[in-house]
Amino acid sequence: MAPVDDLIARHQETLTRALTALAERDYWTPYPEIAKAYGESAPADGKAAFDALLGTVFTLPGHPGTGETTGTEASPYGIELGIAYPVAETDALLTAAAAAKADWAAASPAARAAVCLEILARINARSHEMAQAVMHTTGQAYAMAFQAGGPHAQDRGLEAVAYAYAEQAKLPARATWTKPQGKRDPLVLTKDFVTVPRGTAVVIGCNTFPTWNGYPGLFASLATGNPVVVKPHPRAVLPLALTVRIAREVLAEAGFDPNVVTLAAERDGQGVAKTLALHPDVRIIDYTGSTEFGDWLEKNAEQALVYTEKAGVNTVVIDSTGDYKGMLNNLAFALSLYTGQMCTTPQNLLIPRAGIETDQGPKSYDEVVADLARAIEGLLGDDARATAILGAVVNPAVLQRSAAAAGGEYGDLALAPRVIEHPDFPGATVRTPALVKVEAHKPDDRSHFLTECFGPIYFAVATESTTDAIDLLRQTVTEHGAMTATGYTTSPAVEHALVEACLDTGVCLSLNLTGGVYPNQTAAFSDLHGTGANRAANSAYTDAAFVANRFRTVEVRRPA
């Protein structure tokens, strides 16, 4: 059996199950999110593998390169990484991708899906090593780095592979067309439908979720036959470098040119993303990062399809609740997780000035804010537990904003941020959230909360009423975009108004979350991440539209 046929057989069941999951949208994953499912020695083995990479030159056999290397990473936990990556000229990467394209394009969609699933399976087996790499580049705490950077990211990759396979299988490979001609013989043609890739794809990774945000585009492009150049964020290279290395190993074993997947590590300030984005060979770009560069890509990379996830302002509307404690705990965790460095973390909490109804009686605006502050303090009271939730701060701009909040720059503090010493990593930059009290209609306040304030600064916005809050939600999503919207209400009328506001402005809504699901988390195979219907992103993980245009179909017809 040829290696690729073996892979097809090995992964057929997973692919089939994934397709079912995408239609059903119930919970499913082939990649366990529980750390111990990977074996008793796995955490230590992963740590050892990670440690062995520190201070070395990262090797990518057969990869284009100038001979130079570059190292641009700094762990938010303060440890020395010192990993140097091979540097290649943009033209060399694109030439290698072009040369690798033909065989990969000629492989069947089933073969490409199987290769992708083997890559994901091998990445999955190394989830603990990946967790270390993600932790020490993004600042995520280990448990989160393991889950979000490991199995959850793999889920999103598999999801893209399954969609890609389904879209490519939509037309039959061959059809017979028989058109009756009355008493004469019918016209009969044989028609072949061949999917062809669009061209070289580029994935531009982000600092906070290099794998989770990188895998959908990587695997969607790969599964549809496009070679992919992976351009990691200079501060989060390792997770994608490991991914690229594993992908190249699997490709080579399956008989393909490993340059189907390459790594564009760059020297500081080299601006490789811009160079790649404007190159005529580059036909697909997946990007996660700032609104400014995302907008630039959408406007300037005219020769490419551009899929962006940028930034937005996420809003919670608090109208009423039947589980006050559950609501506070849910929000406290959502606002603490990874120090608010998620594109999905709520930023503005809109609370009617007159207060809200709860199962514990009416609560005034001040009470809700104070109780939320207390819930956060309670959650993060123990330093060890706090660091396991907060992780570390990913970049200096977030630290600056935290300091500015502490200095009262954004408004009165209901909760002041706190500097925490990490018990294991003395160099780690750990901060607790700041909760700022602001007024919905005060211009100074609006200038702060009506713009993305990435990191652990949250605004408790006093509104005139729930209606006023929903209006503000509408305005915020329309003007600034949003990845998430959240609501708490026991009123069917308010729920209806919230749903209408979110449908009209195009943002996904989480209602009355009080348990173990948080507004900033989405589950692959069930939840959509983003909508592509507001300014925060022009696409979503993952739907047919994310995949269907990464390939085209060429028809060849001839008399039967």
Judged by the rule CB under 8 A, the positions of this chain that interact with its own copies are: 23-27, 167, 170-172, 175-181, 187, 189, 191, 193-194, 196, 198, 298-299, 302, 499, 502-504, 506-517, 523, 526-528, 531-533, 540, 543-545, 548-549, 552-559
Cβ neighbours of residue 41 closer than 8 Å, sequence gap 6 or more = none
DSSP state of 77: T
Q: Tokens 């009470």 map to which residue?
A: 367
d(CA 266, CA 85): 8
Q: How far is the CB of 528 from its own copies (least distance, A)?
A: 5
Q: Which is nearer to its own copies, 1 or 23 (CB)?
A: 23
DSSP β-bridge partners for residue 358: 321
Q: How far is the CB of 130 from its own copies (least distance, A)?
A: 22
Q: How far is the CB of 17 from its own copies (least distance, A)?
A: 16
Terminal Cα distance for the chain, rounded: 32
State the burial class of residue 83 (Cβ atoms within 10 Å of its Cβ: 0-12, 13-18, 19+): buried
Q: Which is nearer to its own copies, 125 or 169 (CB)?
A: 169
Q: How far is the CB of 295 from its own copies (least distance, A)?
A: 10
Residue 393's closest CA among 439, 426, 428?
428
Q: In 430-559, where does DSSP find H-type helix?
A: 443-449, 466-480, 492-505, 544-547
Strands 184-197 and 174-181, sheet pairing: antiparallel
Q: How far is the CB of 526 from its own copies (least distance, A)?
A: 5
Q: How far is the CB of 198 from its own copies (least distance, A)?
A: 7
CB 353 within 8 A of CB 365: yes
Q: Which is nearer to its own copies, 193 or 293 (CB)?
A: 193
Q: Which is nearer to its own copies, 253 or 527 (CB)?
A: 527
Q: Which is nearer to its own copies, 411 or 487 (CB)?
A: 487
Q: How far is the CB of 312 from its own copies (least distance, A)?
A: 14
Q: Which is nearer to its own copies, 108 or 549 (CB)?
A: 549
The interaxial angle of helices 324-336 and 365-379, nearest 10 deg, is 60
Q: Which is nearer to its own copies, 385 or 557 (CB)?
A: 557
Q: How far is the CB of 491 from its own copies (least distance, A)?
A: 13
Q: Which is nearer to its own copies, 457 or 502 (CB)?
A: 502
Residue 431's closest CA among 452, 447, 455?
455
State the burial class of residue 303 (Cβ atoms within 10 Å of its Cβ: 0-12, 13-18, 19+): middle
